Structure 1
């Protein structure tokens, strides 16, 4: 998968060519001030990446199981209740 590199100005001027290349399966890198700014992808590549991302998302149960367990090693401060004032 060969990607092309475009300056922002060139990408603006030749947006149809950028989109055509992305649709042909060649991601298009767009730079701003000489630094990578964004990538234009075809919708098939984008959807494939979204599916991969969703496959790697932990479930709620997995997230809860990763929370630290109270094994007694954490000392909690004993607080005195404030006096009740009427």
Structure 2
């Protein structure tokens, strides 16, 4: 993984993109601190892809058959001004 300063990344933006597209994340730093990481579109999609839905998540929970009982508070409903 190569680290670029902001100035270097601006000057060689095409190279930053090409390296990221080839599968090597590119780190961009400002004032010595990592500020951003450029990754390929495929990598981004892979990392941000949602796996399953909320119902599947709860169905796969290890607490599903644990006998855990969750009770709601007996508070009354709040009033809403219409």
TM-score above 0.5: yes
Moved over 4 A (4+): none
| Partner Cα separation in structure 2 for residue 49 and residue 14 of structure 1 | 26
Matched residue SS, 1:26: coil
Give 5+ residue unaligned stretches, structure 1. 78-86
Partner of 1:17: 15
Shift of 1:30: 0.4
RMSD: 2.8
Shift of 1:31: 0.5
If each structure's helix is expressed as a fraction of its own residues, which one has the higher value?
1
Shift of 1:50: 1.4
Q: State TM-score, norm by structure 1.
A: 0.62
Shift of 1:32: 1.0
| Partner Cα separation in structure 2 for residue 58 and residue 44 of structure 1 | 22
Give the number of equivalent residue pairs: 67
| Partner Cα separation in structure 1 for residue 36 and residue 44 of structure 2 | 13
